[in-house]
Structure 1
């Protein structure tokens, strides 16, 4: 994201002295270093801290970039006190006692006490944090969490074994230094075989570009302001990213809905009358019944005004799905076999991306005779998942495979075989539209673990039927637009 890149760039500029102006009125940085040294010597004399081992001199090879004349390269251990955290046993955890800060208590660069652990035991002074200490995660299973830092705003918190505190009069500047690419970049090159960590020695030896105290304050003030704006930019970027991610799907829904309402294509006076189409379908079905190729269907209820969900063009007609089908039936519960001859279509075969036989199981050859010819899937069949949670209602067109002349559906899939006098692709698009899919859950019965779309519900679905010529225009337009939307996703 741009905001993340900008944040890194601004932090890097700040610690290189490029974000603020160096002023001749600033004290010398040597005076700050001398004051820190004297403060440490006093604490050693008072036996509040132990004498530290000398830190190695900074070599020319270590210095990554030039800094202003009145800055100095120092080691972190030179300008701060660093302590590793407290080890405690699970049996010492209590509802009362001292809060022990852990990695989970650092969120977005701040201390978060929504998830706390307390221990009821005496805690060494060295394991107690003070106000303005920096809490640093120095060990974690996730590399990106190591090094995350927050400023502690109250006294008397303890801190856990995977944490360290950094105590320094330069704490505000160091807080930003610890977030900078200089610190993070160096850490990212340090790995171990078991866990991501930064040792106390490594932490103490980190080199820091140190400005005078007055310039530190200017840097912090500038960063507080600039990074707040960058955080706002990031929030807006995240919102935009979600909008961009969801836009293609929303656009697809909108286009499908417009198509089935007659708003995507032009109605032409040259189109045949849809009543003629319905009469032709009726006559075809009567002929097929007479030839005993299909069974006589039970009469469907008349469509009432209350059922009609939206207005359609004058030359369209509301029909029930079974009115325009020659076969509409759930598949059978199969007996499976290891003989890969007769695939059985299940819910997994029906994906929004298209039909696949990859996850199919196979029907036992000896039971094939129990399957009437009408149960063999045909080239133009529409398949609807009739059960499942999150998969129920999913629609696709059956795709034939020359390797398998006979394919059947299992009982979790409903086969919709429309008359050849209409476009099965238009029906597939209609069943995929928000009008159907957004209401699938309401159409289903069953529990929160398993949903079922009853056969009778599918048969009685209302379909907005245009003349055949307009069905073809709608399909042609949708094929093109939806392919463009898939490209947009990529």
Structure 2
């Protein structure tokens, strides 16, 4: 426990730890470890054994008065079942001896219950019990007459509710409403033998059932059919550790205080994360809009470790850097140094060729290939409208459509592929990974000589995902590098072959990953039978801003350097999270080492 308290605030630095921390607190509480000092200061309280005697007497009176029936299940605890984790002055009892447990029977539900959107008696269903709270959402109703007929499953006094069927099985909450409610068939109730609140603190029993040990007790008898279920017998069989009543109250007070602190720290952490994300968003927006980004970049760099502490902010940073790259804002200094030699065409003589000259060269080579019948003539595309040009271009750049850069665009094979199915390896969507080809997990098929020629892959080809269940994957690309002869590609991919003497495939990959082009890709995506698609015409019509070849290479180099910085920041975050996870595991070991 000392380890947990020592690192309590550190463990709350990640909101996802809050629930685990609450679990640890409950585990310590129901082992009596949070009230060790309290027991030393209060040695003369009424014993737990006396509480059990009063509870037994109250249960017997209810049976004699025919208010409840005697349960078939025995409350005796076998020696092998007993826990050895509780303090010596605590007792142990099964729920069958602590309260009246029941459910709405299936035949009662089918024969009498007719749920309505409006009515006299609200019904608590499994979906209304979540994380020890009753959520009054999408509540159904039954007639009062029906509820009175099924009195056994009515809710008329404080009770513990347990979800007994479905995804939320084992969720527990307290029913403490003054008005009458009723159970649905997928929930159970436990009415404690506690008429004058002199025997059990209902919140203590709730915390016990929500603790890791309590949940383990609940789940020990869950039936695992198509839909897991919890029988009334299994609920009655749950063993509960019983401290003296005054210690139950002390445990509840301590747990409430610790939960409050966890929630406050969790809220502070969430607010801190939100403030950091707001700062990052604002700073990156300023960076995107700045004419000269270097001053903004210097400001941002001084706050890297302070504000880039979540992976979501690193993702934002990567996207911003890509957008700046394809707008030429990362290479303004490079242009200032190198564009004194910008030449070719109307912009000067000799030196670096502007992109407009590259396009002319590509068109000349493309016409020659068409004349030689090596490639097919493309359908003309509409001219680029002003609204398709979202920003001004630096000197030497030019707007064009993706088709203007292509030598060839082709869909992959539709033949069935499998492991060791044929002689020709086939690249598939799983082989597209972060802009590169992953040669693990390769399937194969048999292709004819013509198919192999048509679907061959060369270094510097681009492979694009054209169809997938996830919008986020459609249009993602990878550059083919270090490819062996004989490889082809599957039908959900598109191969784009460009004029590599004038266009860097790696630069085109950066364009395809940039936020503005992702927006253009995702806009026309259609869904067919749950699958998202983009076709060859939509790919060909994408509008790109193209710089001279030398600047394309400079941009790729610059982005690689900055992405390495992002990798480093991400690694720092992962190391921090790993440290906190290790602390959490250490605390878990400390808390649970004596709990079994």
Equivalent positions of 1:143-182 (< 5 A) are 145-146=169-170, 148-153=172-177, 154-158=179-183, 160=185, 163-169=188-194, 170=200, 171-182=202-213
Give the secondary structure class of the aligned counterpart of 2:517. Answer: helix
Equivalent positions of 1:171-210 (< 5 A) are 171-187=202-218, 197=230, 200=233, 203=236, 206-210=239-243
Equivalent positions of 1:67-466 (< 5 A) are 67=87, 72-77=90-95, 80-89=98-107, 90-95=110-115, 101-113=124-136, 114=138, 116=140, 118=142, 120=146, 123=149, 125-137=151-163, 139-140=164-165, 145-146=169-170, 148-153=172-177, 154-158=179-183, 160=185, 163-169=188-194, 170=200, 171-187=202-218, 197=230, 200=233, 203=236, 206-212=239-245, 214-231=246-263, 233=265, 244=310, 246-265=312-331, 266-268=333-335, 269-270=337-338, 272-273=341-342, 275=344, 276-278=353-355, 279=357, 282-283=360-361, 285-286=363-364, 289-290=367-368, 292=371, 305-325=386-406, 327-331=407-411, 340=422, 354-355=436-437, 358=442, 362-365=446-449, 368=451, 376-386=456-466, 390=471, 391-399=473-481, 401-404=483-486, 407=488, 413=494, 415-443=496-524, 453=534, 455=536, 457-466=538-547
State whether residues 147 and 182 of structure 2, in contact with CA within 8 Å, keep that contact through their aligned partners in structure 1.
no
Output the CA distance in 2 between the equivalents of 1:56 and 1:375. 74
What is the TM-score with the length of structure 1 in the denominator?
0.76
* Number of equivalent positions: 479
Output the CA distance in 1 between the equivalents of 2:535 and 2:76. 78
1:426 Cα deviation from its structure 2 partner = 0.8
State whether residues 322 and 459 of structure 1, in contact with CA within 8 Å, keep that contact through their aligned partners in structure 2.
yes
State whether residues 392 and 451 of structure 1, in contact with CA within 8 Å, keep that contact through their aligned partners in structure 2.
yes
State whether residues 158 and 174 of structure 2, in contact with CA within 8 Å, keep that contact through their aligned partners in structure 1.
no
State whether residues 76 and 204 of structure 1, in contact with CA within 8 Å, keep that contact through their aligned partners in structure 2.
yes
What is the TM-score with the length of structure 2 in the denominator?
0.64
1:355 Cα deviation from its structure 2 partner = 3.9
1:136 Cα deviation from its structure 2 partner = 2.6
Q: Tell which deviates more after alignment, 337-346 or 146-155.
A: 337-346
In the superposition, relative to structure 1, how do residues 364 and 155 fare at CA in structure 2: closer, same or farther (>3 Å)?
A: same
2:67 equivalent in structure 1: 48
**Unpaired segments ≥5 residues, structure 2:** 1-15, 195-199, 278-308, 345-352, 575-596
In the superposition, relative to structure 1, how do residues 320 and 49 fare at CA in structure 2: closer, same or farther (>3 Å)?
A: closer
1:166-207 CA-partner distances (Å, limit 9, x unpaired): 324322221122222342344555566755647647745624
**Unpaired segments ≥5 residues, structure 1:** none
Structure ID, larger Rg: 1
